[in-house]
Amino acid sequence: MSDPSRHQHWRLIDVLQEAVAYLESRHIEHARLNAERLLAHILGVSRMDLYLQFEKPLKTEEREAYKHLLRRRAGREPLQTILGETEFMSLPFNVTENVLIPRPETEILVENAIEITKTRFGNKSSIHILDIGTGSGCIAVSLARYLKNARILAVDQHPAALNLARKNAELNAVNDQIEFIRMNIIESSGMPGKIRFDLIVSNPPYIRTPDLPTLPPEIRDHEPVDALDGGPDGLRYYRSFQSILPDWLNESGAVLLEIGADQAKDVQNIFSQSPWTSIRLLQDLAGLDRVIILSK
């Protein structure tokens, strides 16, 4: 970012315009949106408020703090991680580099899980749901918020992720509906107490190991690799799911799994064996296969 000391007056509009130019020069997509959100964060106001304060001069400490955040974004640190927050399913979530940043594509899984639950289990006083690899807790928390009769077990093998997920459950006032436990699903010998669930959901790691270096720097360098790495062909977790999930699912239940856009055929083949009698694919807004739904 060019030296701003040449300016006599540090109006908000001047600082913002220079920030946009700086991010554009570093090839940051949606440079203006990024610049606005970072400045709004520094000032503790909404983006709309920025447009009502264009003539306002910034304090020295505000300018310096803003420059620091701009450098981080120019270094390809994700905007959400810099801000420490994001939105998912119209709900607020805290995020850190210990978890995947919740993505709009995963909302398709949650929306359909809600629909299936209301259709199949609308009359049940409590619906038991398992969220595998909960990460930030975005799936579990969203389901709890929109399904008041949901009782959710959210598992993850990383304590830092579980701690963040608990905070997000408290943030959204659903902590009494969710139990968080540390568990490595693949290495597990079974679900404690032989619990069975009406719904099982997961956004597992599905990136092929050889493809990891080709990911955008925001993902490759700032999100946990073991939440991305699905093994040499990206299918490691789906194979494990085929062997363990049937015993954890009630007969009338359903499994919803996020998949890679080019993995539908391979994942369908994995689940073509018994006991699945129904396999359905859902597409994202780009028309790409994104979620597979399994029923016994």
Please check whether residues 66 and 127 belong to one and the same domain.
no
Question: Does 104 reside within a domain?
Answer: yes
Tell me: the pLDDT tens digits for 184-234?
887 766 666 678 999 999 999 999 999 999 999 999 999 999 999 999 999
- CATH number of the domain residue 280 falls in: 3.40.50.150
Please check whether residues 112 and 65 belong to one and the same domain.
no
Tell me: the pLDDT tens digits for 253-288?
999 999 999 999 999 999 998 789 999 999 998 999
Question: pTM to 2 decimals?
Answer: 0.91
**Three-state secondary structure along the chain?**
CCCHHHCCCCEHHHHHHHHHHHHHHCCCCCHHHHHHHHHHHHHCCCHHHHHCCCCCECCHHHHHHHHHHHHHHHCCCCHHHHHCEEEECCEEEECCCCCCCCCHHHHHHHHHHHHHHHHHHCCCCCEEEEEECCCCCHHHHHHHHHCCCEEEEEEECCHHHHHHHHHHHHHCCCCCCEEEEECCCCCCCCCHHHCCEEEEEECCCCECHHHHHHCCHHHHCCCCHHHCECCCCCCHHHHHHHHHHHHHEEEEEEEEEECCCCCHHHHHHHCCCCCCCEEEEEECCCCCEEEEEEEC
Domain region containing 44: 4-75
Please check whether residues 211 and 95 belong to one and the same domain.
yes
Please check whether residues 119 and 261 belong to one and the same domain.
yes
Question: Does 181 reside within a domain?
Answer: yes
Among the candidates 75, 106, 123, a domain finishes at 75
pLDDT confidence of residue 193: 61
Please check whether residues 110 and 250 belong to one and the same domain.
yes
